């Protein structure tokens, strides 16, 4: 029954059996955030295009070539959200959240859209789970956030995870470092990839992300912001590191960690997973102390992260575990109405119970009970008697129908 239509490129259907691990991720995250005092927030799926142009930054790959942007019927340019931080900063300003006790701690989970070339772990519609803490510049915020993502991945038992940590300094320090980096890149211009050369002025930091051999060789010797950190930036970063050390969280310092969004200042981090191949980042984030000003708000220091739900699933091996049923009620002809009454009673008693809904003969019903992984089957005979069958051992005995629910619920 192949259809003429297929899910759009880079998207996927989540089929029955594919939802359980997703639900578990959400459940674990909810518990974790709840205990840490983070409240759930959901922003619209689309926003003003300018929010992302300004928030994420005009020189990023996301804004330059990955946004699903279109004009709505009123002639406004809107964009399917490629990420969640700029919308949450917008919501913070919109709702005057600066009047609440600071920092305002929020978490979210939902779909995001990027027009990227699809490959393993990279989709055009994907889901993120994320956290943002807005309104404090304390290094405790950075540490708490990193510890939460660490805890989430631990509780979900994601294997092969490692943390990389860096700092980009404050906007002022970053500005003078950028000049230094630009000068260095210009000195080595003929060794750089074309796209890196074209972005020296606009976004020199992105040269650290290049996959090009020549560029990588140049960047291996480039000055890093981490080496230039001083004053309060250095103190802030030292405090974050002390707190992580104290919490027993291992990390690798990485001066080349820049991440693909323009709003980062000071702390940046990335959780990588060795089971993921080329798209190895399972989640990451950092501090973004100047984003609110980019959106015409007052200065509000903030930090956060997001993790890719599909990447977590891939790392977990995406096992589509089926939850076995407790009881299958099979019925001979004339007994089907009683079967429906019995599964209803069993369900009220908290059991996962099913019956045949497709007019199968008794043999077919038993096969269906097997497929569903039912631990027991109750067989309603034509003469009104009932048999209880243990589907594992195959043992079968007659049972008083009045006792079936009590007997099975007690197990």
* Chain positions contacting ligand HAM, by CB under 6 A: 83-85, 114, 116, 121-123, 126, 128, 130, 132, 260-261, 281-286, 288, 304-308, 310-311
Closest CA relative to residue 167, chosen from 239, 104, 97? 239
Nearest approach, Cβ of residue 353 and ligand HAM (Å): 38
Closest to 152 in 3D by CA, of 319, 320, 312: 312
Q: Is 243 left (phi over 0), alpha (psi -120 to 50) or beta?
A: alpha
As measured in angstroms, the least distance from the Cβ of 317 to ligand HAM is 17
Q: Which is closer to ligand HAM, CB of 317 or CB of 364?
A: 317
Q: How far is the CB of 90 from ligand HAM (least distance, A)?
A: 13
> Of 85 and 167, which has the nearer Cβ to ligand HAM?
85
Select 48 or 116, whichever has its Cβ closest to ligand HAM: 116
| Residue 379 to residue 389: CA distance in whole angstroms | 8
- CB atoms < 10 A from the CB of 157, how many? 9
Shortest gap between Cβ of 122 and ligand HAM (angstroms)? 4
Shortest gap between Cβ of 118 and ligand HAM (angstroms)?
8
Q: How far is the CB of 253 from ligand HAM (least distance, A)?
A: 19
* Beta carbon nearer to ligand HAM, 126 or 177: 126
Is 288:265 a contact under the CB 8 Å cutoff? yes
Place of tokens 């930090």: 303
Sign of CA dihedral 120, 124, 128, 131: positive
Residue with nearest beta carbon to ligand HAM: 308
Residue number with CB closer to ligand HAM (257 or 378): 257
**Cβ atoms within 10 Å of 407's Cβ, excluding its own:** 14
369/387 Cα distance (integer angstroms):
14
Q: Which is nearer to ligand HAM, 133 or 185 (CB)?
A: 133
In the complex with ligand HAM, the residue whose CB is nearer, 124 or 325, is 124
Give the residue from 346, 307, 311 showing the smallest Cα distance to 326.
Answer: 346
Q: Identify which of 386, 373, 379, 315 has the alpha carbon closest to the alpha carbon of residue 160.
A: 315
Least distance (Å) between residue 304 CB and ligand HAM: 3
Range 214-244 burial, b when 16+ CB lie within 10 A, else e: ebeebbeebebbbebbeeebeebbeebbebb
């Amino acid at each position: 029954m192949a259809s003429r239509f297929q899910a759009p490129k880079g998207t996927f259907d989540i089929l029955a059996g594919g939802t359980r691990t997703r639900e578990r991720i959400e459940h674990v995250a909810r518990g974790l955030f709840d205990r840490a005092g983070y409240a759930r927030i959901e922003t619209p799926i689309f926003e003003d295009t300018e929010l992302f142009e300004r928030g994420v930054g005009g020189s990023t790959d996301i804004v330059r070539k990955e946004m699903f942007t279109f004009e709505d019927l009123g002639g406004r340019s809107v964009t399917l959200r490629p990420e969640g931080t700029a919308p949450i900063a917008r919501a913070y300003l919109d709702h005057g959240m600066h009047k609440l006790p600071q920092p305002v701690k929020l978490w979210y989970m939902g779909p995001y859209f990027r027009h990227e070339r699809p490959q393993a772990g990279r989709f055009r519609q994907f889901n993120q789970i994320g956290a943002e803490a807005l309104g404090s510049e304390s290094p405790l915020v950075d540490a708490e956030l990193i510890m939460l993502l660490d805890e989430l991945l631990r509780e979900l038992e994601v294997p092969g995870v490692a943390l990389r940590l860096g700092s980009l300094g404050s906007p002022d320090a970053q500005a003078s470092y950028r000049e230094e980096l630009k000068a260095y890149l210009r000195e080595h211009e003929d060794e750089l990839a074309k796209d890196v050369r074209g972005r020296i002025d606009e976004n020199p930091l992105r040269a650290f992300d290049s996959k090009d051999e020549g560029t990588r060789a140049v960047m291996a010797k480039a000055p890093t912001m981490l080496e230039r950190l001083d004053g309060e930036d250095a103190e802030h970063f030292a405090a974050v590191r002390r707190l992580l050390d104290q919490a027993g969280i291992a990390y690798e310092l990485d001066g080349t960690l820049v991440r693909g969004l323009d709003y980062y200042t000071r702390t940046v981090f990335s959780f990588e997973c060795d089971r993921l191949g080329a798209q190895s980042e399972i989640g990451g984030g950092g501090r973004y102390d100047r984003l609110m000003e980019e959106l015409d708000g007052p200065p509000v220091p903030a930090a956060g992260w997001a993790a890719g739900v599909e990447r977590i699933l891939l790392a977990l091996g995406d096992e589509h575990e089926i939850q076995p049923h407790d009881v299958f009620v099979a019925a001979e002809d004339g007994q089907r109405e009683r079967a429906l009454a019995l599964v209803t009673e069993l369900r009220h008693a908290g059991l996962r119970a099913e019956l045949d809904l497709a007019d199968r003969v008794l043999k077919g019903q038993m096969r269906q009970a097997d497929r569903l992984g039912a631990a027991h089957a109750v067989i309603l005979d034509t003469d009104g008697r009932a048999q209880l069958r243990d589907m594992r051992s195959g043992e079968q005995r007659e049972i008083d129908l009045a006792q079936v629910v009590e007997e099975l619920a007690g197990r």
